Structure formats: C-alpha cells, structure tokens
Amino acid sequence: MDERIDGTKVAVLVANEGVEQVELTEPWQAIQDAGGRPSLIAPQPGEALAFNHLDKGDSFQVDRAIGEADPDDYDALLLPGGVANPDQLRTSPEAVAFVRAFFAAGKPVAAICHAPWTLVEADVVRGRTLTSWPSLRTDLRNAGATWVDEEVVTDNGLVTSRKPDDLPAFCAKMLEEFAEGRHPAQSTSVS
C-alpha cells in the first residue's frame, strides 16, 4: 500500500466487547503504516475486548469514550466488524449520532463485514451501493441500499468489504479514500 495519509486522524469506533480482532488490527496497522493517527472510540472508557470469531481475543485500550469524542476532531471513520460489535453500537444513540456526523460532514467512512448494521441504524445507506457479510444483504436492501457480493465497494467516500479475507483490498481502498478526504456527495446521502 503506497497511499500516504500523514497526520490524518481516524476514529475507530467499536463496542466495548465483540469487535472482530483482525478487522480492527489490520486496518489499524495499515492506517499507522501510512502515517495516519487512529484513535479507539467506544461507548465506555477502559478497554475493548476483541474476538477471533466466537473466541475471546485481546483487549485494547480505549482512547476516548464516545460521549467525550467529537466527530469534528477526526478526518475519517473506520467501523470494524464482528457480529456483536455493530449489534451493540446500533443500540447506542451516541454511536449512531457519531456515525451520522461523519456522513453529514462528507468525511470518508470504511466499514467491513457486519459493520454496515450500524450504517443501517444511522440511515445513511439509502441510494448507495455497498457490500457486507452476506447475512446483512436483506437488511441493507430494506434500508434502501443496493447490495453486491464484491471484495470491496466504494460509493462517494464509503468503503465496504465482506469479510476478513477481503482485508488487503479493503485496507488499500480505505487508505485511498482517506487520502482523498471529504466527499461532498457523501453528505447529500444523509436523510
């Protein structure tokens, strides 16, 4: 990955338990390797417990609780997957508002696997084309999106992928979109 995002501040939004570890760690490392500055945001301060599918993984220090995080302080948003992760985030009004703020400001967003569930709750997928873990297909279509089964999809600053196997393509496209910065058409999709 040759894309540079020097100094770009990336909010990485996760639940305090349930994020898929590899979908957190690989994009995080790609952001750092490209000169970006990731920050782990979660509903509660302390730690976020990751999972390797259904098995407990490592814990990661939360940089800011979502109530203390201002979307204006970040240039881009990463939403890792894991089944429990977005399922918890979409029930948090603060998390949903945080996500919506990135779309309203036209900032790039990257979401992998089950993470688009949070996008559905934020009502930012209508009229967009995206991908996800296959079980979200109907939820995304019902929310007004066009779902496709592709390794990585980009739609006006929104990057989505299906699963951990897609991480190389996801990380490359994520960095490209983060390097481009704001996408004015992104904000027109917020209802």
Q: What is the pLDDT of residue 186?
A: 75
Q: How many CA atoms lie within 13 A of 72 on its CB side?
A: 0
> Who contacts 112 (Cβ-Cβ below 8 Å, separation ≥6)?
23, 27, 79, 80, 81, 160, 161, 162, 163, 166, 167, 170
Q: Please list the active-site residues.
A: 113-114
- CATH numeric code, 9-181: 3.40.50.880
Other CB atoms within 10 A of residue 18 CB: 21
Q: What is the pLDDT of residue 189?
A: 63
Q: What is the pLDDT of residue 191?
A: 58
Q: What is the DSSP string of the chain?
A: -----TT-EEEEE--SEEEEHHHHHHHHHHHHHTT-EEEEEESSSSEEEEEETTEEEEEEE-SEEGGG--GGG-SEEEE---SHHHHHHTT-HHHHHHHHHHHHTT--EEEETTTHHHHHHTT--TT-EE---GGGHHHHHHTTPEE---SEEEETTEEEESSGGGHHHHHHHHHHHHHH---HHHHTT--
Name the residue type at position 148.
Answer: V
Q: What is the pLDDT of residue 185?
A: 76
In the chain, where the domains are located: 9-181
pTM of the prediction? 0.96
Q: How many CA atoms lie within 13 A of 85 on its CB side?
A: 31
- pLDDT averages per 10-residue partition of the chain, 191 residues: 88 97 98 98 97 94 97 98 96 97 97 98 97 97 98 97 98 97 76 58
